[in-house]
Amino acid sequence: MGKLTRRTFLISSAVLGGGALFGFIATPNRLGIRAGATQENTWLATWVSIASDNTVTIWVPHAEMGQGIQTALPMMLAEELEADWSLVRMQQAPAEAIYAVGDVIRGFIAGGLEVPGVFRRHVDYSFYKLASMMNMQITGGSASVRFTGQNGMRRAGAAAKAMLIQAAADKWQVAIQECEAKLSHVYHYASGRSAGYGELAGEASRLRLPPHPLLKSRQDYKICGKSIPRFDTPAKVVGKQDYGIDIRLPGMKYAAIRHSPVFGGSAVSFDDTGVKGKKGFEAVILLPDSVVLIADNYWRAKTAIDELLIEFSDGEHGDFNSEKLFAELEQLLTTAEPELDFEQGEADRELALLTVDGVISADYRVPFLAHATMEPMNCTAYYHEGQLEIWTGTQDLLGARALAAEIAELDMEQVVAHPVQLGGGFGRRFPSTGNYIESAVRVAMQVPYPVQLIWSREEDIQHDYYRPAVQSRFKATLNAKGQPQVWHNIYSDIGVNDDTAAAFHPYTVPHQRIGRVKHETPVPVSYWRSVEHSFQGFFVESFIDELAYNAGIDPFLYRLGLLDQAPRFAAVLELAAKNIGWGRMLEEGRGLGIAIKESFGTIVAQAVEVSVPKQDSVKIHRVVAVVDPGEVINPEIARAQIEGGIIYGLSAALFGKITLEQGRVLQSNFPDYRMVNLAYAPQIEVTFIESGEDIGGMGEVSVPPVAPAVCNAIFAANGRRIRQLPVIDQNLTIVA
Amino acid sequence: MFKLSINGEQTTVDVEPDMPLLWVLRDELGLTGTKYGCGIAACGACTVQVNGVATRSCVLPVAAVDGAEIMTIEGLGKNGLHPVQQAWIEYQVPQCGYCQSGMLMSVVSLLDNNPEPGNEELNRAVSNICRCGTFQRVRAAIDSLKQV
């Protein structure tokens, strides 16, 4: 990426309509990246325009998929800018390299933090260098507020404010210290003068960017920390919010797809004689792994493809099945030499000193999971006059554009990717998992009209990139006080375990050995809300619970006693216990469970109350969550994320399972890939602790503690330890 | 040819009798507020009102609603927001929002017919799936309407 200036942006874009546009340039130095960091690529972090009527428009480079980011990020900029919130507008940034979110990963590196997996492939650690930043506009890794917000939005707002004040001071020939910015105006109280930002913006934009704009203190916040309503709610309650699937273009046709049922299989041939004459039929197109049927309406395409005779080849993996995989993982955990994530003390030697009787051991297991976003995968594509346009919900619009260009064998400049809202993301909609974009582009390159390719729910569930199936093995020993002396944990890794610290726990244990054994499968796997934390939370927090019961100590007090080195965790855990009323007398058949997990820089504890009306049934009554993200930008948006993550994690814990037999996914739609709905949704209570530590993520962090807290509560209620998910597979019925 | 009354407006469509109402609305009439989620009446994203009753339109043949009064999310609040929509804004219910058209149509039908539904009736009537997990707010918003 070459040096971009405001001028090149203005030339290449027509977004500016009066007023002034500020493009903020940040250099690696300013983030304090250690010596050796590349100096050559200066990057543009944030754009904001101020119109003559004082309207402030903030370009947000991240996708809205329900997490509220397109409200929270503008709040951070507007706060520093001292903008009048009623005049702030949000605009999703287009898929242009100038909106690439390189600052997001730079933020991780500068902070010495682990870069989330979704960004990993863009970073070459040996030189702290960013690769292919041109094509990255990722929304993921619970990173938007943490890095685009903190490094981009805040600093851009502060810089723009300083420039506006400077412009006013110059105009009035007064000292900047005598001027104050407030509600989109600059005031000079001594002379009684004031000017709106719109009036000052033109002059301000010609000033030098202040190299170190001063950020506000939290006690001075007027916008951040408040539950400002989301920008997108009004349209979403009247059916006016368009998603990718709602794009309508003149002459557009609709397409249905049928994939080879076996991963790695191919589509060989089709016979369309039976469907050719059907009303609205347009064409059938053979793709490498699938067949697409185009008609003038989606239902016609879908019903016709259901009748189409297709020959698939299974390829090499027609005999793959989940049971076989778990047998292989079992074998590997026993025999393979693990790659270590962490070692402390001498866990192996300590274990060898004991007989088998002295060792507490347990294996846990989770299945593959699909994302099942409410809006099924879809992509609209139109190739005309040498240009390809796509409309699709994606967590990386720029990456989607690059993917489309690669598939179509076009230059990036020949591809336009239009931003649209996502009907759910959860990690499903990255370019690296962009099979729905690929097939739409391949089809569009062969037909003269725009095509909207929609996956049926069955295709969506059976051709996902899944949360991996994982098995994890623990061994521990306890000292005379019941505290763990050895923590030995090896888990299977069939992919997507980028965060090598995900299996870590905050407890004091002298001898620890944590590692993974690698294995390959033909099942496509990828990021799923909270990624590896989704299963490591279940494993680690179930096993510590087992140790507590083995030691004969209350599981909350047991954990607390091991958190002497982790006061932030202890505070979160204690409040969760207090909020659920830990230790109170419970009715017969009720149980409380607790779990704590840090992910994406945020610590979350959950305490759950369940009842077991009968030995073989469970009702989830209440989930109490305590969350320490350091700082909360918009409490209601944050609370909604925590509530939503709990339901997402609960659906998986209770019901979620993707099973393969003969290379095929058995589940196909919501009746056999069940979800928590209103009847099963427990009461949720969320409390935030704003510790003032570095700001953490919000979108994923409440998923990991749900499964262990629920299973620990079930154990407390009926003595049944659940080591394999989902709960319904353990001869337990979930009651509403 | 089928005669449909949609959001108070009369229209005719010339489609196969077994085409589900969902696709007539979305692909023939351009009313995209009603969503496709599962195609088998399992998730509720496609819920509309047929003669005042919440109905899942993805398995409802157009022939079955010939002459019926149909209301979609576009019709709800056409003349000012319905109290349920107002409560949805007040409680900031939607996240991604994709399921909310159907969720709202289910709730409106329930409350129009019974302003004080019991818990079981509520759970039965509003069985919609929301992957963002907005149920805490759905319940709070409904409770606020019951107290009126």
pLDDT digits (tens, 9 = 90+) for A616-659: 999 999 999 999 999 999 999 999 999 999 999 999 999 999 99
| Angle in degrees, CA A590, A596, A602, rounded to 5 | 140
Helix (H) or strand (E) holding A60: strand A56-60
Token pair for residue B50?
């047929």
What's at A235, amino acid-wise?
A: A
pLDDT at A97: 63
Q: Does B43 touch chain A (CB under 8 A)?
A: yes
ipTM score of the complex? 0.98
pLDDT at A205: 75
Stretch A317-339: mean pLDDT: 96
Q: What's the Rg (C-alpha) of chain B?
A: 15
Residue A247 has pLDDT above 50, yes or no: yes
Which residues in chain B have Cβ-Cβ distances shorter than 8 Å to A66? 94-97, 132
Q: Kindly indicate the confidence band of residue B91, based on its pLDDT and cuts at 50, 70 and 90.
A: very high
Q: Which residues contact A190 (CB under 8 A, 6 or more apart)?
A: A174, A178
Helix locations, A425-562, DSSP H: 435-444, 457-462, 533-551, 555-561
Which residues in chain B have Cβ-Cβ distances shorter than 8 Å to A230? 92
Pick from A735, A719, A716, A706: nearest CA to A587: A716
| Touching B: A residues 348-377, CB under 8 Å | 372-376
Which residues in chain A have Cβ-Cβ distances shorter than 8 Å to B131? 372-374, 424, 426, 648, 675
Q: Does B45 touch chain A (CB under 8 A)?
A: yes
| Touching B: A residues 279-298, CB under 8 Å | 279, 297-298
Residue A19 has pLDDT above 80, yes or no: no
pLDDT at A570: 98
pLDDT at A29: 35
Whose tokens are 């109290």? That residue is: B83
d(CA B129, CA B127): 7
- Kindly compute the dihedral angle of the four CA atoms of residues A238, A243, A246, A252, in this order, to the nearest 10 degrees: 160
Q: Does B55 touch chain A (CB under 8 A)?
A: no
Residue of B nearest to A643 (CA): B133
Q: Per residue in A600-612, is it b (16+ CB within 10 Å) or e — as a string?
A: bbbbbbbbbbbbb
Average pLDDT for chain A: 89
pLDDT at A206: 74
Residue A43 has pLDDT above 50, yes or no: no
pLDDT at A49: 81
- CB-CB neighbours of A354 under 10 Å: 13
Residue A692 has pLDDT above 70, yes or no: yes
pLDDT at B136: 98
Please give the backbone phi and psi of residue A342, each rounded to the nearest 5 degrees, phi first.
-160, 140
Stretch A45-60: mean pLDDT: 80
User: DSSP labels for B95-135?
Assistant: SS-TTHHHHHHHHHHHHHH-SS--HHHHHHH-----TT--H
Please judge whether B88 and A647 are an interchain contact, meaning their C-beta atoms are less than 8 angstroms apart: no
CATH 3.90.1170.50 holds for B2-75 = no
d(CA A80, CA B138): 34
Do A464 and A370 meet the contact criterion of CB atoms below 8 Å apart?
yes
Listed range (A17-31, A110-124, A709-723) with the worst mean pLDDT: A17-31
Listed range (A28-32, A91-95, A710-714, B56-60) with the worst mean pLDDT: A28-32
Residue A36 has pLDDT above 60, yes or no: no
Do A141 and A533 meet the contact criterion of CB atoms below 8 Å apart?
no
Q: Kindly indicate the confidence band of residue A41, based on its pLDDT and cuts at 50, 70 and 90.
A: very low
Please judge whether A233 and B94 are an interchain contact, meaning their C-beta atoms are less than 8 angstroms apart: yes
Stretch(es) of chain A classified as CATH 3.30.365.10:
6-237, 244-314+377-454, 322-369+466-734
Q: Kindly indicate the confidence band of residue A356, based on its pLDDT and cuts at 50, 70 and 90.
A: confident
Which residues in chain B have Cβ-Cβ distances shorter than 8 Å to A684? 136
Partners of residue A130 on adjacent β-strands = A123
Which residues in chain A have Cβ-Cβ distances shorter than 8 Å to B117? none
Residue A20 has pLDDT above 60, yes or no: no
Listed range (A210-219, A243-252, A281-290, A399-408) with the worst mean pLDDT: A210-219
Do B84 and B111 meet the contact criterion of CB atoms below 8 Å apart?
yes
Strands A88-92 and A56-60: parallel
Stretch A270-281: mean pLDDT: 96
The sign one gets for the Cα dihedral A633, A635, A637, A638 is positive
Please judge whether A232 and B123 are an interchain contact, meaning their C-beta atoms are less than 8 angstroms apart: no
Residue of B nearest to A675 (CA): B129
Which residues in chain B have Cβ-Cβ distances shorter than 8 Å to A65? 96
Sequence ranges of the domains in chain B:
2-75, 83-146
3-state secondary structure A225-238: CCCCCCCCHHHHCC
Stretch A221-225: mean pLDDT: 97
Q: What is the pTM of this model?
A: 0.93
Which residues in chain B have Cβ-Cβ distances shorter than 8 Å to A456? 39
Closest residue to B95, CB basis, from A279, A640, A670: A640
Whose tokens are 């905050």? That residue is: A506
pLDDT at A146: 83
Do A507 and A544 meet the contact criterion of CB atoms below 8 Å apart?
yes
d(CA A595, CA A624): 11
Stretch A593-597: mean pLDDT: 98
Q: Kindly indicate the confidence band of residue A15, based on its pLDDT and cuts at 50, 70 and 90.
A: very low
Instruction: Please write the tens of the pLDDT for every residue from A105-145.
Output: 665 555 666 666 666 655 554 444 444 444 567 777 777 88
Distance from CA of B98 to the nearest CA of A (A): 5
CATH of domain A244-314+377-454: 3.30.365.10
Helix locations, A425-488, DSSP H: 435-444, 457-462
CB pairs under 8 A between A and B: 182
Please judge whether B131 and A454 are an interchain contact, meaning their C-beta atoms are less than 8 angstroms apart: no
Residue of A nearest to B61 (CA): A299
Please judge whether B96 and A245 are an interchain contact, meaning their C-beta atoms are less than 8 angstroms apart: no
Percentage, residues of chain A above pLDDT 90: 75
Residue A78 has pLDDT above 80, yes or no: yes
| Touching B: A residues 707-726, CB under 8 Å | none
Q: Kindly indicate the confidence band of residue A153, based on its pLDDT and cuts at 50, 70 and 90.
A: confident
CATH: 2.40.40.20, 3.20.20.80, 3.30.365.10, 3.40.50.300. Which one for A322-369+466-734? 3.30.365.10
Stretch A62-71: mean pLDDT: 91
Q: Does B2 touch chain A (CB under 8 A)?
A: no
Residue A26 has pLDDT above 50, yes or no: no
3-state secondary structure A86-149: HHEEEEECCCCHHHCCHHHHHHHHHCCCCCCHHHHCCEEHHHCEECCHHHCCECCCCCHHHHHH
Do A290 and A439 meet the contact criterion of CB atoms below 8 Å apart?
yes
Q: What are the CA-CA distances from residue A293 to residues A286, A306, A308, A573 (Å)?
A: 9, 10, 9, 54
d(CA A694, CA A150): 10
Stretch A218-236: mean pLDDT: 96
pLDDT at B47: 98
Token pair for residue A291?
């067949």
Q: Does A127 touch chain B (CB under 8 A)?
A: no
Q: Kindly indicate the confidence band of residue A575, based on its pLDDT and cuts at 50, 70 and 90.
A: very high
Q: Kindly indicate the confidence band of residue A32, based on its pLDDT and cuts at 50, 70 and 90.
A: very low
d(CA A350, CA A546): 20
Which residues in chain B have Cβ-Cβ distances shorter than 8 Å to A241? 97
d(CA A555, CA A563): 13
Distance from CA of A305 to the nearest CA of B (A): 15
d(CA A404, CA A135): 12
Stretch A381-392: mean pLDDT: 98
Q: Helix A69-81 vs helix A154-172: angle between axes, to the nearest 10 degrees?
A: 30
Classify domain B83-146 at the CATH topology level. DNA polymerase; domain 1 (1.10.150)
pLDDT at A21: 58
d(CA A186, CA A83): 10
Stretch A367-390: mean pLDDT: 98
Q: Which residues contact A259 (CB under 8 A, 6 or more apart)?
A: A267, A289, A290, A459, A462, A463
Q: Which residues contact A734 (CB under 8 A, 6 or more apart)?
A: A617, A618, A619, A620, A654, A655, A680, A727, A728
Residue A159 has pLDDT above 80, yes or no: yes
- CB-CB neighbours of A730 under 10 Å: 16
- Kindly compute the dihedral angle of the four CA atoms of residues A462, A378, A122, A604, in this order, to the nearest 10 degrees: -70
Distance from CA of B37 to the nearest CA of A (A): 6
Distance from CA of A66 to the nearest CA of B (A): 3
d(CA A399, CA A407): 12
CATH: 3.40.50.300, 1.10.620.20, 3.10.150.10, 3.30.365.10. Which one for A6-237? 3.30.365.10
Q: What are the CA-CA distances from residue A314 to residues A264, A266, A442, B142 (Å)?
A: 7, 7, 22, 50
CB neighbour class for A395 (10 Å; exposed up to 12, middle 13-18, buried from 19): buried
Please give the backbone phi and psi of residue B24, each rounded to the nearest 5 degrees, phi first.
-65, -45
Q: Does A678 touch chain B (CB under 8 A)?
A: yes
**Max Cα–Cα distance, chain B, nearest Å:** 46
Distance from CA of B127 to the nearest CA of A (A): 6
Do B51 and B4 meet the contact criterion of CB atoms below 8 Å apart?
no
Please judge whether A374 and B104 are an interchain contact, meaning their C-beta atoms are less than 8 angstroms apart: no
